[in-house]
Structures are given as structure tokens and as C-alpha cells.
Chains A and B, each alone.
Chain A
Amino acid sequence: MEWKSSYNKWQLTMLTVLRIIIGWHFMYEGIVKLWNPGWSAKGYLTDSAGLFAGLFEGMAGNASIMQAVDFLNVWGLVLIGAALMLGVFTRYAIIAGMILLGFYYLSHPPLIGIKYALPSEGSYLWVNKNLIELFALGVLLVFPTSRIIGLDRLIFGRQEHLSDQDTSTPNVSEKRKEATHIS
């Protein structure tokens, strides 16, 4: 059976590569922490600033909360990374990844007049790499690829781009319908 998606070849390639390299990044960040028994998010959280600094510092100040935060963070990163790379349960992984990145961003927002002890390798104002990665995941959320290339294709079936329910953008749906055919 031959099957075509609504994405052209380059769109599909770029979206899939983006998904896999973000997955790689997540997974490596998780693995590094997993392999370093001395690692804890405590220092990072203690260094928080901005509107939610109190919340994050509160987390850092409580040993049992910190244990849970460290565990969830490390395994969250590893599992989200693996899921993005393999394209399995990708939608959940993307949402979880966006939440994690949201936490990182909110604990260290690059605001005017705020300096962090943690050295930064670039120059940022309001927008930093966490925020960019968060929105890159947002792009992947609305342009999914895992049911074209990824294990979701085997679990949930290959993607049908034409959504009968999608009445908000009928023109696009129609286009997709035309572009998607199985022979």
C-alpha cells in the first residue's frame, strides 16, 4: 500500500528531525543527571528569580519535595526524550516536555535587572533557549509526525491528515483529504 502525508518530503523531514533532536537533548540531559549521583536541582531552584521564585525556593527548601522533584525531573527528561525520539505516546511527551520547560523558564526568566548565579552561555532578554525549545515543542504538537515516522504509527495507526471533525479550517481539511490517499 502506498501512502502519502499532507506534508511534503522536506516538511516531514524537518519536523521529524526537530522531534528527534529535541528528544535527544531531553534524554541526554536526563541521562547525565541519572549518572551523576551528586546531582540535585536544589542549586538551580535556590537560584530562582522572578514571579515564582518563592515557589521554587520553597521546593528547594524541603528535603522530601526535593527528592520527588529530582526523581521526576530526571526520569521525566529521560522518558520524554525517549518518547520523542521513538515517536511513541508523542503527544503526551510533548505536553510533558512543554510543562518541564515552562518550569525551567519560570524559575529563571531572563528579565531586565535580574542576574543569576548560574552562568549563562548566551545573552537573553525575555526569550531564552528554554522558551524557544518550548515553542518548538508547540510546533511539533500542532504538526505531528509520530504516526508517519515513529512507533505511534504502529500503536495508533498511520496518520490520517484529513480530520472529519476539523470544521474550523475546512479548506485545509479538503486539501489534506486530497493529498492523503491509500492505494
Chain B
Amino acid sequence: MENNENNHLPNEDRKINRRDVVRGLAALPVLGAFFVGTGVKKSRDGKIRDSILDKLNVDAAAPPPVGSMEGDPIRLGIIGFGIRGEQLIRALGFATPAWKENMKKSAMKNPNDTRLKDLMEQENLNVKVTGVCELFDVRAESALATVTTDQNKPKRYRTYQEMLDSPDIDAVVIASPDHWHAPMAIDAAKAGKHVYVEKCMTHKWHETFELYDTIKSTGAVFQVGHQHRQTQSFLTAQDIIKKNVLGHVSLIQTNTNRNSDNGAWQYNIHEKASPQTIDWDQFLGNAPKIPFNKEHFFRWRKWWEYGSGLSGDLLTHDYDRINCLLNMGIPKTVVASGGVYTHRDGRTVPDVFQIIMEYPDYITGTSQEAGKEKGMTFIYSATLGNQFNRSTLLMGHDATMELGASLFVYPDPRSTRYQEMIEEGIINTDDPMYSYNPAAKGVDAVTGATAKYFANKGLMYTYRDGKRVDSTFLHLKEWLSCIRHGGKPSCGIEEGFQEAISAHMGTISLRTGQRVEWDPVTRTIKGLENIALDEINMV
């Protein structure tokens, strides 16, 4: 063929004539057409993209500022080393030997599994876990083995009160069952310790006020474990709201769909669980006294006495995801309903639940004439019997935002703000007009379907400076930074108060069958002053 020496013509025929040049360069006009065509297309697409981006003017908001982790190590006490406690301690940099072993095996099978490597390379938060409080001996020993180092010999405390009395503890991470969150957090703050507590911040109505007052009066650095506040897509979404890209948001839809035993809180019951290995009385705490029950200990989320149901357990995630964007606070009224329809295993908390929160005076912004900007409904619905993926949607007059680890904004065909651009064909109402995928290197306007498919496929991590990071790690880091340098954690007592009151209103509505109304002046529920609200979570 062409480079085969034997095919070459004799020397006299290799002289290049005019025909050779014409035929040799015959494709040049096509190449010219190619560049003209691509140039015109690029310029047109670029103008459209720029005009959309100019119009929207969205920037990813800066992540919460964090200071250096240098200095003396912060001495932590961990209260509770169950599933979430283990995850929190791992996010702090300490994985159990069993987890490391599993990850090592998994990485050998699948080189893409970099969880162990990621953890080893994670920034050192400069903390020492000096105290462990866990009621089940097996877990307590596992926690000790996990956080013990050459420089750090942690102590096991039999009660959290003993731990709080210790001068060796600066701050506590609370990952206990819900009914212990507030008593522990209140006592810790009073003992001068800083507090990181898992959601739901409180289990009972009155605890919410007591904890609020305690944190306010003691000045403890307090963070509720809603780590999604660190997710980059939410920071971008904050700016989208600020720039009024969506217009008047009238409806928000959030959901939980799970269809597994684990998702329905059917956690593993440890074979060594017994009255000898578990401090049952301490577990019960303020719950009604009943004989030792392994299932209640390991699957406490299924009973009102210890857990907060779908309202406190999972709605709180979605509520806070939206509250961190809109700061809409506590709803004016709440209606909730639900039942146990899938897991009829003796549980008392529903496995199907929906809640409607009304914000009649809330304003997100508007592109329309005055008088059309007020009012919003927040709907959450959940089932533990189906895992169809339903998106979180913020539905505005001008656009709809679909929110997950990535983010898409779809123009509304009847938008006032984008009417001209839609008519001019600059904005196509079938495609998202803006997308943000934290895994990609940039933002995009006029996005086709492909990007969305990929984003939903699993590129769902939080990124900082292009590097994949665990958002729980960032949330703990922010708390530690506030302890070291001052500042306000992004999910502090105000946010936690709004989260807990909103969730408890849902539970109260569910259990009383009534629509409940919040009185922001007296900070009570209208018409229910005479009902013992605390007992609602106990029956």
C-alpha cells in the first residue's frame, strides 16, 4: 500500500506534476468547510451557553471556611459505637480492624474500590479519641481497638456521665439511639464539652427547647449530623436560590424510597448480645422499663420509645437539605399520615409516611407582578417497601431544580423570566438549561441527556478542589475547626431546633390525627397546649 517501497514508481515518474498537486490537495476544501462549519457551530453554541449562563449568573457558593487543624489534638469522647458511630469515627480517620480487613479484600478483588486507600490518604484531623462509652461490650472493645494508638490509650466509660466528668475529654460525638440524644447533649454542654450529635437532634418536644437553651447559655460548639450541608451541589443550589433562577417556588417534593431489610432498620442482632454483655437499664434510660429485649436494643428505630420514626429519622435529612437552601424554618402548619403496611413485625413506627408542611408567607423570589410571590408547600413522602428513585424537586414559576449529588435546572415553558429566550430558541424547554456535576471539571449550560444519565449512574461524591471526599469528614472537620478557631457550624442549634420542631410536628400530627399549627410567638403548638406532647413519642 502507500508506504510499501515496492509500490513506488520509478524515479522519473516521481516528479510531482500539477495534477498530483490538485489531487493531493483535493480534500483541502472539505477541511476548509469543516473548520467553517465547526467555527459557526461553536460560536452559536457558545453564544447560547454564555447568554444562558450570563442570565442565570450562578456561582458555586464557597464551602464553609475551615481553619487549620494544627495545635494540640482535640480529645474526643465517642458515645455509641453502633452502625453510625463506627462511620463517624471512621470519618475522623479511625477504621475498625475488621473494616480495614474487608476493604483490603475488596480492593484486591476490585482495584476500583479505593475506600481503604482514600481513608489512608485522608487529611489528619488531629484528634485523639480518649474516651469510649458504649453499652454493648463487643462494640466497646471494637471501638477501643479502633482508636488505640501508640500515643493514645483510650478509656472505656461505663456511663456517659462518668465520661463527661473526665478532664481528658474536650468534646463528644453522640451516636446513641434518638431517645438519648438530648439528655447526653444537654449534660455534655453543661459539663463544658462541645457536641456533635446525630439527627434527629431530640426525641421529645420539651427536650428541643431545653437543649436549645442549654447550647445558647453554655456556648458549646454544637453541630447536628446533617453532613449534606457540605455537599458541593447544595452550595451551588444555594446560589441558584439566591439569584432567583427558579422564580416563585410554590411546591417542593422530597422522598425516601427503600426496599431492603437494612433500609427498614432490620439490623443484625449480634450473637453475643445478652444481659451480661449489654447494660440494658442504661439503654432504656427515659423509656418505659421492659425486660431485656435484643431486638429493641439493635433495632431501636422501629419503636417510638427510642426512635423518632420516618419523621425524625429520614424526613429530617430532606427537610434540612431544603432548609439549608431556603432557610424556610418551621412550617406554619403540618399534616402527616402513614401506617405499617410492609413490615408487620411488631414495630410501632410506620413504614409508609407522608407529611405536608405549609409555608403560606414564605417568599423565594419572583419574576412576576407583585402579589404572586408568596406561599410554598413542602411535601415529603416515604416508603420502606419500594425503592423507585424519586427526585427532590423545587418547583418554581420560572424553573424546576432537580437536586441530588448533581443538580439540574429545567426551564418552565410558561416562565416569565425566560419567556424571551424560550421564544428565541436560546432555551430549549426539553433539556436542563443548567447542570452542575461535581465530578466534572466545570458547569454546563444546555445539557443533553447523557450528562444526566452519567450523574445518576454513580458519580456521586462530594468534591473539594477536584478531589473526592467524604462529606461526613467535612462536616466533622467544620465542627472541629469551630472548636479550634471559633465560628458557627453550618448545622448548629438554630438549624437543629428548626429540624427537630418540624419533625416533631409531623409525629404529633401523625399520632393525633390532627393538623398542627406552630405559634412562633409563644413557641407552642396552637390548641394542643393541654396535651402532654412528650408522651406522644412514648405510647
Q: A29 vs B189: C-alpha distance in the bound complex, in angstroms?
A: 60
Q: Which of A31, A57, A156 contacts B2 (CB 8 A)?
A: A156
Render B187-204 as a binary contact track against A, CB cut-off 8 A, 1 for contact.
000000000000000000
A51 within 8 Å of B by Cβ?
A: no
Could you tell me the distance in whole angstroms from the C-beta of A83 to the nearest C-beta in chain B? 10
Q: A86 vs B2: C-alpha distance in the bound complex, in angstroms?
A: 14
Closest to B17 in A: A1
A28–B14 CB distance below 8 A: no
B27–A58 CB distance below 8 A: no
Q: Could you say which interface size class chain A belongs to?
A: 35 or more
Q: Which of B17, B34, B38 contacts A85 (CB 8 A)?
A: B34
Closest to B21 in A: A154
Given A28-B34, A35-B42, A37-B442, 5 more contacts at CB 8 Å? A46-B458, A61-B114, A117-B457, A118-B453, A154-B16
A91–B112 CB distance below 8 A: no
A109 within 8 Å of B by Cβ?
A: no
Q: A152 vs B2: C-alpha distance in the bound complex, in angstroms?
A: 7
Could you tell me the distance in whole angstroms from the C-beta of A77 to the nearest C-beta in chain B? 13
Render A14-50 as a binary contact track against B, CB cut-off 8 A, 1 for contact.
0010001000100110010001011010110011000
Interchain residue pairs with CB less than 8 A apart (10): A35-B42, A38-B441, A38-B442, A46-B459, A87-B27, A117-B453, A154-B16, A156-B8, A157-B8, A182-B9
Q: What residues of chain A lie closer than 8 Å to B30, measured between beta carbons?
A: 20, 24, 85
Q: What residues of chain B lie closer than 8 Å to A20, measured between beta carbons?
A: 27, 30
Could you tell me the distance in whole angstroms from the C-beta of B101 to the nearest C-beta in chain A? 21
Q: What residues of chain B lie closer than 8 Å to A98, measured between beta carbons?
A: none
B141 within 8 Å of A by Cβ?
A: no
A61–B450 CB distance below 8 A: no
Query: Given that A31-B38, A157-B13 are known contacts, is A1 also in contact with B19, CB under 8 Å in the complex?
Result: yes
Q: What residues of chain A lie closer than 8 Å to B26, measured between beta carbons?
A: 16, 149-150
Could you tell me the distance in whole angstroms from the C-beta of B329 to the nearest C-beta in chain A? 36
Q: A77 vs B505: C-alpha distance in the bound complex, in angstroms?
A: 59
B459–A157 CB distance below 8 A: no
A91–B2 CB distance below 8 A: yes
Could you tell me the distance in whole angstroms from the C-beta of A79 to the nearest C-beta in chain B? 13
Q: A87 vs B20: C-alpha distance in the bound complex, in angstroms?
A: 13
Q: What residues of chain B lie closer than 8 Å to A151, measured between beta carbons?
A: 24-25
In chain B between 1 and 57, which residues have their CB closer than 8 angstroms to a CB of chain A?
A: 1-4, 6-9, 13-14, 16-17, 19-21, 23-28, 30-31, 34, 38, 42
Q: What residues of chain B lie closer than 8 Å to A43, measured between beta carbons?
A: 450, 454, 457, 459
Q: A154 vs B20: C-alpha distance in the bound complex, in angstroms?
A: 7
A164–B6 CB distance below 8 A: yes
In chain A between 79 and 133, which residues have their CB closer than 8 angstroms to a CB of chain B?
A: 82, 85-87, 90-91, 117-119
Q: Which of B7, B21, B441 is most buried by chain A, counting CB atoms within 10 A of its CB?
A: B7
A3 within 8 Å of B by Cβ?
A: yes
Q: A90 vs B442: C-alpha distance in the bound complex, in angstroms?
A: 36
- Residues of A near any B CB (own CB < 8 A): 1, 3, 16, 20, 24, 27-28, 31, 35, 37-38, 40, 42-43, 46-47, 57-58, 60-61, 82, 85-87, 90-91, 117-119, 141, 144, 146-154, 156-160, 163-165, 182
Q: What residues of chain A lie closer than 8 Å to B23, measured between beta carbons?
A: 148-150, 153
- Residues of B near any A CB (own CB < 8 A): 1-4, 6-9, 13-14, 16-17, 19-21, 23-28, 30-31, 34, 38, 42, 111-112, 114, 437, 439-444, 449-450, 453-454, 456-459
Q: A147 vs B4: C-alpha distance in the bound complex, in angstroms?
A: 12
Q: A148 vs B27: C-alpha distance in the bound complex, in angstroms?
A: 12
Q: Which of A153, A156, A163 contacts B3 (CB 8 A)?
A: A156
Q: What residues of chain A lie closer than 8 Å to B19, measured between beta carbons?
A: 1, 3
Q: A27 vs B6: C-alpha distance in the bound complex, in angstroms?
A: 32
Closest to A145 in B: B2
Could you tell me the distance in whole angstroms from the C-beta of A51 to the nearest C-beta in chain B? 16
B34–A158 CB distance below 8 A: no
Query: Given that A151-B24, A154-B20, A157-B13 are known contacts, is A58 also in contact with B457, CB under 8 Å in the complex?
Result: no
Query: Given that A58-B112, A117-B457, A182-B13 are known contacts, is A153 also in contact with B24, CB under 8 Å in the complex?
Result: yes
Closest 6 CB pairs between A and B? Answer: A43-B454, A61-B112, A38-B442, A154-B24, A117-B457, A38-B440
Q: A42 vs B14: C-alpha distance in the bound complex, in angstroms?
A: 47
Closest to B11 in A: A157
Could you tell me the distance in whole angstroms from the C-beta of A166 to the nearest C-beta in chain B? 9
Q: Which of A90, A146, A165, A182 contacts B6 (CB 8 A)?
A: A165
Q: A157 vs B10: C-alpha distance in the bound complex, in angstroms?
A: 10
Could you tell me the distance in whole angstroms from the C-beta of B154 to the nearest C-beta in chain A? 35
Query: Given that A58-B112, A144-B1, A182-B13 are known contacts, is A158 also in contact with B453, CB under 8 Å in the complex?
Result: no
B453–A119 CB distance below 8 A: yes
Closest to A161 in B: B7
B7–A159 CB distance below 8 A: yes
Q: A96 vs B539: C-alpha distance in the bound complex, in angstroms?
A: 72
Q: What residues of chain A lie closer than 8 Å to B453, measured between beta carbons?
A: 117-119
B1–A40 CB distance below 8 A: no
Q: Which of A38, A90, A146, A147 contacts B444 (CB 8 A)?
A: A38
B449–A119 CB distance below 8 A: yes
A85–B3 CB distance below 8 A: no
Q: Which of B3, B14, B17, B456 is most buried by chain A, counting CB atoms within 10 A of its CB?
A: B3
Q: What residues of chain A lie closer than 8 Å to B437, measured between beta carbons?
A: 38
